[in-house]
Structure 1
Amino acid sequence: MDVILLERIAKLGQMGETVKVRDGFARNYLLPLGKALRANEANKKRFEAERSTLEARNLERKSEAQKVAEQLDGKSFVMVRSAGETGQLYGSVAARDIIEALSAEGFNIGRNQVELNTPIKAIGLHKVVLHLHAEVEIAIELNVARSADEAERQAKGESLTSADAIYGVDEDALKPEDFFDPEADQDGDEE
């Protein structure tokens, strides 16, 4: 199905372009959300008549998204979660959790604006990309830790999942000879 895009859509095209998309994508996503019109003569004339207002609205949305991006730039958000000794979370951090953390700080971001392909399942510092507008995206830092104290230590660059942090052992000082005698008979036969 050929459609006329009413806004820029990533990996598809710019506003005003006529593109060919699958019928289901057009019927279930583009047309109901008002992101496109069917490409026929009547809709082409309608688009040309409304082009200036659509461009103005798009520019306004982009400037609002740019302001939010400037406020978010360089921010780090702390998520306190239960985790095991190895740093594996007992649950996970999903897009919904990120939205809650952002709204607690006063940012109104939709769940579909968070690019998180898989949930976060380990403590540490994670980069999460937010698509605030088709032309504006920003990466925020998510500090997932077991406590606020651990989050501060992680922010300073300290690793909390290494043997040193967990057991108080220097990993570099450990050698295989510390655990077994290379001279000993390995197969267990007494000769």
Structure 2
Amino acid sequence: MQVILLERVEKLGQMGEEVKVKNGFARNFLLPKRKALRATKANREYFQTQKAHLEARNLERRSEAQKVGEKLEGKTFTLLRQAGDRGQLYGSVSPRDISEAISNGGFSISRTQVPLDHAIKSIGLHPVSVVLHPEVRVKVTMNVARTEDEAERQARGEDVLAERTPEQDAAASAEGLFEEGAGPEAEGASA
């Protein structure tokens, strides 16, 4: 289906371009969200009459997004999650989790504005891109940790996973082997 784009659409084109897209993409996404019009003669004429208005509206929305982007750029948001000893999360951090954390920080962000290439599956500091407008993209940092204390240490640059020495790991596993009332101390006490 041929459509006329009413705004910039990533990986498709700029406002005013006439592009060919699959019917389902046009019917289910572009047309309902008012990002495009069918490329008919009447719609081409309508677009030409409304072009100045659409460009002004796009410029206004972009300037609003840039103002928000200046406040949001470089901020760090903390997410507390359960994780194993080696830092692997039990589950993963999704765009919905990230948008909720940013929204709790006082910004209005939807999950569709957080495109993740891959899910976050470990604790640590993770850079994340947020799309505020098709032409405005900012970077924020997600601090994924098990506790508030761990999040603060990660923010200072400490490696929270490398803090235990092999001797400490061995001692911890040895303590787990000997339950209360078992082991060499218990045998000597009963004799």
- Shift in Å at residue 144 of structure 1? 0.4
2:56 counterpart of 1:59: no
Q: How many residue pairs get matched?
A: 167
Task: Show the counterpart of 1:17.
Answer: 17
Task: Show the counterpart of 1:140.
Answer: 140
Task: Show the counterpart of 2:187.
Answer: none
Structure 1 runs of 4+ aligned residues shifted over 4 Å read none
Task: Show the counterpart of 1:177.
Answer: none
User: Higher helix share goes to which structure?
Assistant: 2
Distance 1:139 1:169 in 2: 37
TM-score, with normalisation over the residues of structure 1? Answer: 0.83
Q: Indicate the SS of the match to 1:158.
A: coil
One-letter amino acid of the structure 1 residue matched with residue 165 of structure 2: G
Q: Indicate the SS of the match to 1:70.
A: helix
The RMSD of aligned alpha carbons is 1.4
**Deviations 1:109-139, CA, capped at 9 Å, x for gaps:** 1110001133211100101110110000011
- Shift in Å at residue 63 of structure 1? 0.7
Distance 1:149 1:122 in 2: 17
**Deviations 1:22-81, CA, capped at 9 Å, x for gaps:** 111111111111110111110000001111111111011101110111001121011111
Task: Show the counterpart of 2:165.
Answer: 168
Long gaps (5+) in structure 1: 171-191
2:110 counterpart of 1:113: no
TM-score, with normalisation over the residues of structure 2? Answer: 0.83
Instruction: Between 1-10 and 152-161, report the one with greater CA deviation.
Output: 152-161
1:3-152 pair list within 5 angstroms: 3-152=3-152
Distance 2:115 2:158 in 1: 27
Identity, in percent, stands at 59
Q: Please say if residues 96 and 110 of structure 2, whose CA atoms lie closer than 8 Å, have aligned partners that are also in contact.
A: no
